[in-house]
Amino acid sequence: EQLVTISNGSNLAKYPSIVFKIFIDGREAAASPVMRIQSPAWRFDVEIPQGARAISLIAMDAGDGSREDFADWVEAGFVLKK
């Protein structure tokens, strides 16, 4: 499970719009809605298939231009179930 939020921290950005995506072995496994400063937190709960070899966490422009769209996955983690 991963929690995604947008915060402008000490930046002056007012209008970022970002989509967070998870890819497993090159295929999109999940995507957030368009996230903005006022958006509530978004949780990802993605099952990782047995044998998966690569997981990519992507933050990208939401389609309205990349001005002020700065993002990262802070404290991303994985929970293993046995």
Instruction: Tell whether 80 is covered by a domain.
Output: no
Q: What is the mean pLDDT of residues 28-35?
A: 93
Q: Report the alpha-carbon distance of residue 55 to residue 49 in Å, rounded.
A: 11
The yes-or-no verdict on residue 12 having pLDDT over 70 is no
Indicate the residue type of 77. Answer: G
DSSP 20: E
DSSP 25: T
DSSP 26-41: TEEEEE---B-TTPPP
Among 9-13, 24-28, 77-81, the range of highest mean pLDDT: 24-28
Q: Report the alpha-carbon distance of residue 4 to residue 19 in Å, rounded.
A: 10
The yes-or-no verdict on residue 32 having pLDDT over 60 is yes
Q: Domain total for the chain?
A: 1
Q: What is the pTM of this model?
A: 0.76
Instruction: Tell whether 39 is covered by a domain.
Output: yes
Q: Provide the token pair at 66.
A: 């990349």
Q: Which domain holds residue 44?
A: 2-61
Instruction: Give pLDDT tens digits for 35-76.
Output: 887 888 888 889 899 999 999 999 888 887 767 677 778 778
Instruction: Tell whether 73 is covered by a domain.
Output: no
